[in-house]
Structure 1
C-alpha cells in the first residue's frame, strides 16, 4: 500500500511538472507566433505544436486532478447516504471509472502505436509521440484510482474517498 501511495505521489508530481512545462511552452509558442505574424514573419509550426501541447496538458492535468479529487462530481446523494451504503456507491463508481480507463488506455495505446509512421501536417515528427500522452495520462489515473480504491473501506468518512468534489 505504501509503495502504491509513493507511486501515486510520484505520478502526481510528474504530471504537474509536465503540464506546467507544456503550459509555458504553449504560451511561448502562441505568443511568439502572434508577435512574428505582427512583424510580417510566419512560424507555421506554432499552431500545430500548441495544439499537440494542449492535448497533452489535458491528459497530464486530468491525472493530477484525479489524485487531488478535483474532478467535478455530484455528491449530494452520496452525502445523504449512511457511511456503509455510501462506501458501496463509491466502490461502484471506482470500478466503473477503472473499467472505462482500462478500456480507453488500451485503445489509446493501440492508436499511439498505430500512428508511429504518421507525421504531423507541418511538423515532421511521428504522431506516436503526441498520442502517447493519452495512455500515459490515463495510466497515471489508473494508479491513483487503485490507490484510492484500496483506502475505501478503511476510511472513517466519505469525503476522503470520493473520486471528485
Structure 2
C-alpha cells in the first residue's frame, strides 16, 4: 500500500512539474518572440492561464498532505486529547463532504461548458474546467490516505521520502 501511495504522490508531483515547465516555456517563448520580432504568440497568455488553473487544482492535494494550507488551531489547542481527535475527525468528514460536493459541481460546470471553445486555442472549455472535479478528486484521495494518522496523532509521516521525520504541524496537515 505504501508503494502505491509513493507512486501516486510521485505521479501527481511529476504532473505538476510538467505543467509548470510547460507554462514557463510558453511564457519564455512569448517574451523572446515579442522582443525579437515585435509580435506576441497569440495563444501564449491563454495557455499559461489554463496551465495555472490546472496547477492550482491538481497541486492542492499535495499541499494538503504536507500541511501547506492555512490552519487556525486555537480551538483544537484548547481541547483535551480526546476532544482534539474528535475535532480532527469532524474536520476530515466535513472536508470529504465538501470535496465530494465540489467534484459534483465541477462535473456539472464542465459539462455545461463542453460546447464552448476557448478564444485563442480553440479547444473545448471542458478541458479547462475538468481541472476542478479532477483536482477535488485528488484532494479526496490525498485526504483519505492521511486521514487516519491526522485524526489519531495530529501529525503525518511523509511517505514521499523514506527518512522523513514526523511532521508535527500546528493543527496537523489539514487542520
Range into which the TM-score falls when normalised by the shorter chain: 0.7 to 0.9
Equivalent residue in structure 2 for 1:158, among 154, 160, 166: 154
Q: Distance in 2 between matches of 1:70 and 1:105?
A: 21
Deviation at 1:14, TM superposition (A): 2.2
Equivalent residue in structure 1 for 2:90, among 78, 92, 108: 92
Which residue number corresponds to residue 16 of structure 1? Answer: 13
* TM-score, with structure 2 as normaliser: 0.81
How many aligned residue pairs are there?
160
Greater CA deviation, 74-83 or 107-116?
74-83
Deviation at 1:49, TM superposition (A): 0.2
Pair 1:107–1:136, CA change in 2 (3 A)? same
Match status 1:69 vs 2:67: yes
Pair 1:107–1:15, CA change in 2 (3 A)? same
* TM-score, with structure 1 as normaliser: 0.85
Pair 1:152–1:32, CA change in 2 (3 A)? closer
- Superposed, 1:1-165 pairs within 5 Å as 2=1, 8-39=5-36, 40-151=38-149, 155=152, 157-160=153-156, 162-164=172-174
Answer whether contact 1:8 1:144 (CA < 8 A) is retained. Answer: no
Structure 2 unmatched runs, 5+: 157-170
Structure 1 unmatched runs, 5+: none
Q: Deviations over 1:45-77 (max 9, x none)?
A: 000000000000001111111122221211243
Q: Distance in 1 between matches of 2:174 and 2:130?
A: 25
Pair 1:132–1:10, CA change in 2 (3 A)? farther
Q: Distance in 2 between matches of 1:68 and 1:163?
A: 6
CA-based RMSD = 2.1
